[in-house]
Copies of this chain bind each other. A is one copy, B any other.
Amino acid sequence: MSEVRVPEGPTEVASTDGRGRLDLLFEPSGRKVRVPPGVFLFDAASWNGVAIDSTCGGHGTCRKCKVQVLEGLAPITNLDTRAFSIEELRNGWRLACRIEVATDLRVDVPPLMTRPKAATVGVGRKVILRPAVQKRYVELTEPSLSDQTTDLDRLFASLDDLELRPELPVLRSLGRVLRKSDYKVTAVVIDNVLIAVEPGDTTERMFAIAFDLGTTTVVATLLNLTTGAPVAVQSMLNKQQPFGADVITRISAIMMDANALEPLTRLAHETLDELAQAVCEEGGVDPSEVYEIAMAGNATMTHIVLGIDPEALGVAPFIMSTKLFPEVLASEVGVHVHERARAVVFPALGAYVGGDIIAGMLASGMDRDSRLRLFLDIGTNCELVLGNSDRLLATAAPAGPAFEGAAIRCGMRAAPGAIEVVKLSAEGVELRVIGDVEPEGLCGSGLVDVVAELIQQKLIDASGRFVSDEEAARLAPGLAARLTQLADLRVFVLHWQGNVGDVEKSIFLSQRDVRELQFAKAAIATGWHILLEEAGVKEEDLQQVLLAGSFGSYLSPASAVRLGLVPKLPILRIVSAGNVAGEGAKMALLSLRERTGAMTLLEEVEYVELSDRKDFNDQFVDQLAFPV
């Protein structure tokens, strides 16, 4: 059993769990889809790309989503009786947003009269706008001795298509707000909760903020919920940095001193709030107009930002407190927007496959695509997801900090001065440096490049060893001089800082650095080899590799293939997916349907624990070598 009831999202294919699915046939397109019982027809249609007229996005207010049920049962609802004549009801006309699918259905969808509002997110995916937040402007009649209806009941009577419960802060001022605004007010509703009543008509002002809560960098996007458009984007380093660069060092800080949780939580809150205020300012939005935020982060970041003790994530057997996090207020994670704004926290699949990966899967549509794909988010910890709409497998591989530039002698983070691209040829070395300045070090993508190029030039052999000076002179005379010694360490100089020949001051790659990269690469390659094996498929069956995160967008696909870091596919099939965690967070804010999809993913994805496997070590040793 799971800790909360997870609504089940519709999928195009029968799920593997054997539960019943129902057939929907949309006319005149002839599109067929299979959905679990209880799904709303409108949602099933929009989810599957069948356009049905609507301006309210399925909230039951516009009454435009008219369809005719040709076969199957669709009970008449209250709203139907208002939208249709008796004759029309008899002929099967219904509002699609009110049909809870309970039998197979054949429905006729009239041509579109209006265009549903949609926003483009992630890798070009369209999301039909249906945020959890909605605003309703109403004009109420004043009470009298013959109509002593309470303020709340009076308001609710005008919103009788919703089943609402009020929050205490709304009640505290409701009387005053109604009376000072001549009973003309805007109700702000999230799900079934009345979170605010505002004087006058404020329906055009409705915003949300999506956070990609990274260990290193936090990104905030302010969204206009009435149009679906992003209004402002800001990013900054996570203020938790002083406690360590990666999740393990931050968990360690708490293991050393339980009191460290509080400042870590506070620093995360400060980071989020500073970004929230910045995007509001940039977008010309008052923070009180932001009614919802969403956060996608790894399990550790999510635990810490909620003030949940993350200790058990850091040591075997790597136990999360929970997969699903309770509903919280934005103020409970330190974000000062509307006082009753909600925070949607992405659930985590495992201690090392967190909410950022769930969001990434959502944004990349992993569970809806029939192509066999591999999703890789490479960092200190590498998350891997393999599969398609039939089956999804996920795991995490401990890559270590090499890709972040740590543990690499001349390594540095991807910041100005970092060598990010390296090309070697017989003639010499060609470098691209971030910020186009004098190089200061080597970041992850540069590291991958230089090792891949050295393999290409045969200056590094399959075992990862630099060749001898003699061989170097023979194989690549233009580069041989760069292969040299620093004390007893064999190095390849990329850039002379001071005088040529002053290795100490140069930017170089050492034999030890190559070893670090080998370990990182082996961990990741072991991960996807085991996933392929679990899924019973081969490397060549893969149709796409998605590289998530910022490292993924800088990594050279050719170099990654050459190192064996990713499966050997045609280069064009290795795709940078961008900031998919952030895109997933945006989708969850723009569409309740997509939010439900994130919860469904949690049920659908099978987690494979690597550290428990007997074959891990053998595989790991095999993967240490480079393909040559």
Whether the pair B316, A151 counts as a contact (CB closer than 8 A) is: no
Whether the pair B3, A164 counts as a contact (CB closer than 8 A) is: yes
Q: Smallest Cβ distance from A522 to chain B, in angstroms?
A: 20
Residue of B nearest to A265 (CB): B172
Does any Cβ of B come within 8 Å of A307's Cβ? Answer: yes
Whether the pair A307, B168 counts as a contact (CB closer than 8 A) is: yes
Does any Cβ of B come within 8 Å of A538's Cβ? Answer: no
CB neighbours (8 Å) of A151 from chain B are 312, 319-322
A597-613 CB mask vs B (1 if < 8 Å, else 0) is 00000000001010110
Whether the pair B306, A156 counts as a contact (CB closer than 8 A) is: no
Interface of chain A: mostly helix, strand, loop or mixed = loop
A172-214 interface (Cβ within 8 A of B): 172-176, 179
Does any Cβ of B come within 8 Å of A281's Cβ? Answer: no
CB neighbours (8 Å) of A174 from chain B are 308-309, 321-322
Binds B, one of A324-332, A402-410, A584-592: A324-332
In angstroms, Cα B316 to Cα A5, docked, is 46
* Other-chain residue from B3, B308, B312, B350 in contact with A153 (beta carbon distance below 8 A): B3
Q: Smallest Cβ distance from A484 to chain B, in angstroms?
A: 45
Whether the pair A350, B319 counts as a contact (CB closer than 8 A) is: no
Whether the pair B323, A148 counts as a contact (CB closer than 8 A) is: no
Does any Cβ of B come within 8 Å of A29's Cβ? Answer: no
Whether the pair A322, B157 counts as a contact (CB closer than 8 A) is: no
In angstroms, Cα B318 to Cα A137, docked, is 25
Q: Smallest Cβ distance from A428 to chain B, in angstroms?
A: 50
Indicate whether A150 sits within 8 Å of B317 (C-beta atoms), given known contacts A172-B309, A176-B311.
Answer: no
Whether the pair B145, A321 counts as a contact (CB closer than 8 A) is: no
Indicate whether A148 sits within 8 Å of B3 (C-beta atoms), given known contacts A166-B326, A168-B307, A172-B306.
Answer: no
Whether the pair A1, B153 counts as a contact (CB closer than 8 A) is: yes
For chain A, the count of residues having a C-beta within 8 Å of the partner chain is 56
Residue of B nearest to A345 (CB): B168
In angstroms, Cα B168 to Cα A582, docked, is 24
Whether the pair A317, B172 counts as a contact (CB closer than 8 A) is: no
Whether the pair B4, A165 counts as a contact (CB closer than 8 A) is: yes
In angstroms, Cα B173 to Cα A312, docked, is 11
In angstroms, Cα B324 to Cα A156, docked, is 13
Residue of B nearest to A146 (CB): B612
Whether the pair B156, A326 counts as a contact (CB closer than 8 A) is: no
Does any Cβ of B come within 8 Å of A160's Cβ? Answer: yes
In angstroms, Cα B146 to Cα A316, docked, is 11
Q: Smallest Cβ distance from A81 to chain B, in angstroms?
A: 16
CB neighbours (8 Å) of A325 from chain B are 168, 171
CB neighbours (8 Å) of A163 from chain B are 5
Indicate whether A150 sits within 8 Å of B311 (C-beta atoms), given known contacts A160-B1, A166-B3, A317-B143.
Answer: no
Does any Cβ of B come within 8 Å of A535's Cβ? Answer: no
Residue of B nearest to A163 (CB): B5
Does any Cβ of B come within 8 Å of A144's Cβ? Answer: yes
What are the 7 tightest A-B residue pairs by CB atom distance, in nearest-first order?
A152-B322, A145-B612, A150-B320, A145-B317, A175-B312, A143-B319, A175-B309
Please name 18 further chain A to chain B contacts, defined as beta carbons within 8 Å, in addition to the given A148-B319, A174-B308, sorted by A numbering: A1-B157, A2-B156, A3-B153, A3-B165, A145-B609, A145-B611, A145-B612, A148-B350, A148-B609, A149-B319, A151-B312, A151-B321, A166-B322, A168-B326, A168-B332, A172-B307, A174-B309, A174-B322
